[in-house]
């Protein structure tokens, strides 16, 4: 863009304006010389403006390309790096409700007292949490609902566990305890619930749901991380500030994997081929920090979910639903964070730690997420559990 300034000899901003009297006295040659001088002056100003405009154009062009290319070559690794310094009014309501819950006294047997009036509640009361020595092969169901066919690998795994049952720290000793089950749902993203989650007595997490880098929304502590081998986090940092890892058995080889982790004897190359995803060789926890989730947790959860299913048939509960049932056995008050799949909005975030959309759930056929949502909604409506993120 070129700016055309001072093109008239009658410019009122000129320091030496031409007066009518002086113009009449000038000779044609003098007038010609003055006009030539004015033309030269304006020509130099024209080229000066052109250089300035060209420089500005180059700067703007470089800036535009940088804004496009820098994210491409230096991408954000996770969605949690996006700054959110503001909260929606509904987020503030949830935060205030969570703070109010934590500021009040813990209420003994609150969850169980509210669970018992439900028609199917008997299935979820007094369910064993971890497998003990005398329970090898006790069920007639195959994994994950039982232990049939795993007897040999189960015996080896239990032999490697110094304390296979419920640890003293988790046994009911008369004190009131609060649990929070931290789901992986995208609704947890931007919730700012991390400091609230860390105040619970028992914090349960699922599979490889990350903690480092997501403390603002998901908290920083882990009491129990329940997982299967393919879902175990690969980063050693994910096990820091973790008390216990509980294995969910989906196949006999999962128990062999646990034994190899505890004894630090790697699995054979042939054994690793039977996992559907690469599994870790080491977990930086001591042997006494490992447990085997009792399959009765999964079995009783599946029985209740069948009452909500549109079609009867084989169903495997998600770790999230199973963790809620486990929490009911351990704590007086149970809260949930990061639960609730909204299939009506397929473009919504599926997990709090990645940008996968909700419609990815349509590809799986193992779980009945619709039945699970109805089940969890009834728990919330009955006051059995508290939904901290408000998606149920």
Which pLDDT score, from 0 to 100, does residue 168 have?
83
Which pLDDT score, from 0 to 100, does residue 378 have?
98
The whole-number mean pLDDT for each consecutive block of 10 residues of the chain, a chain of 392 residues, reads 40 37 42 46 51 65 49 35 58 92 96 96 95 72 93 94 88 89 92 97 97 96 98 96 97 98 95 94 96 96 95 88 97 95 62 70 67 96 97 88
Q: Which residue has the tokens 């081929």?
A: 273
For residues 240 and 213, what is the distance between their CA atoms, to the nearest angstrom? 13
Show me where the domains of the chain are located.
20-73, 88-387
Task: Enter the DSSP assignment of 384.
Answer: S
Phi, psi (deg, nearest 5) at residue 246: -115, 125
Which pLDDT score, from 0 to 100, does residue 390 have?
92
* Best CATH choice for the domain 88-387 from the list 3.90.1480.20, 3.40.50.720, 3.40.50.80, 3.90.1330.10: 3.90.1480.20
**Which of 295, 226, 289, 224 lies closest to 261 in space, CA to CA?**
289
Which pLDDT score, from 0 to 100, does residue 254 have?
98
DSSP for 175-204 reads ---EEEEE--BGGGTT---HHHHTTSSEEE
Which pLDDT score, from 0 to 100, does residue 61 have?
64
Which pLDDT score, from 0 to 100, does residue 16 have?
35
For residues 305 and 126, what is the distance between their CA atoms, to the nearest angstrom? 18
DSSP for 232-269 reads S-S-GGGGTTEEEEEE--SSHHHHHHHHHHHHT-PPPH
Tokens of 14: 């000129």
Tokens of 164: 């296979």
Residues ≥6 apart with Cβ < 8 Å to 126: 329
Task: Enter the DSSP assignment of 16.
Answer: S
């Amino acid at each position: 863009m070129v700016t055309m300034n001072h093109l008239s000899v009658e410019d009122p901003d000129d320091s030496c304006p031409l007066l009518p009297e002086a113009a009449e006295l000038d000779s044609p040659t003098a007038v010609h010389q003055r006009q030539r001088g004015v033309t030269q002056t304006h020509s130099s100003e024209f080229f000066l403006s052109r250089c300035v405009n060209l420089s500005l154009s180059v700067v703007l062009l470089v800036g535009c390309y940088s804004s496009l290319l820098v994210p491409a070559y230096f991408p954000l690794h996770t969605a949690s790096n996006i700054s959110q310094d503001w909260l929606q009014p509904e987020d503030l309501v949830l935060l205030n409700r969570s703070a109010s819950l934590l500021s009040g006294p813990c209420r003994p047997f609150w969850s169980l007292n509210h669970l018992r009036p439900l028609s199917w509640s008997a299935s979820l009361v007094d369910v064993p949490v971890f497998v003990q020595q005398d329970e090898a092969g006790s069920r007639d169901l195959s994994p994950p609902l039982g232990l049939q066919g795993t007897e040999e690998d189960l015996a080896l795994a239990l032999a490697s566990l110094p304390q296979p049952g419920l640890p003293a720290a988790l046994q009911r000793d008369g004190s009131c305890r609060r649990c929070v089950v931290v789901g992986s749902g995208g609704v947890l993203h931007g919730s700012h619930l991390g400091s609230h989650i860390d105040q619970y007595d028992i914090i349960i997490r699922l599979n490889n749901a990350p903690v480092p880098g997501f403390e603002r929304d998901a908290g920083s502590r882990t009491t129990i991380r329940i997982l299967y081998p393919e879902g175990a986090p690969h980063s050693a940092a994910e096990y820091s500030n973790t008390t216990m890892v509980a294995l969910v058995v989906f196949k006999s080889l999962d128990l062999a994997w646990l034994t190899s982790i505890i004894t630090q004897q790697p699995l054979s190359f042939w054994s690793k081929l039977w996992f559907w995803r690469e599994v870790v060789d080491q977990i930086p926890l001591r042997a006494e920090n490992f447990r085997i989730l009792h399959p009765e947790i999964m079995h009783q959860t599946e029985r209740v979910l069948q009452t909500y299913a549109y079609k009867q048939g084989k169903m495997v509960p998600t770790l999230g639903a199973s963790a809620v049932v486990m929490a009911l056995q351990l704590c007086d008050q149970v809260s949930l964070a990061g639960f609730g799949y909204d299939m009506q909005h397929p473009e919504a975030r599926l997990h709090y730690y990645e940008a996968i959309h909700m419609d990815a759930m349509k590809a799986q056929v193992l779980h009945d997420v619709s039945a699970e949502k109805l089940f969890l909604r009834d728990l919330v409506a009955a006051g059995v559990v508290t939904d901290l993120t408000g998606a149920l």
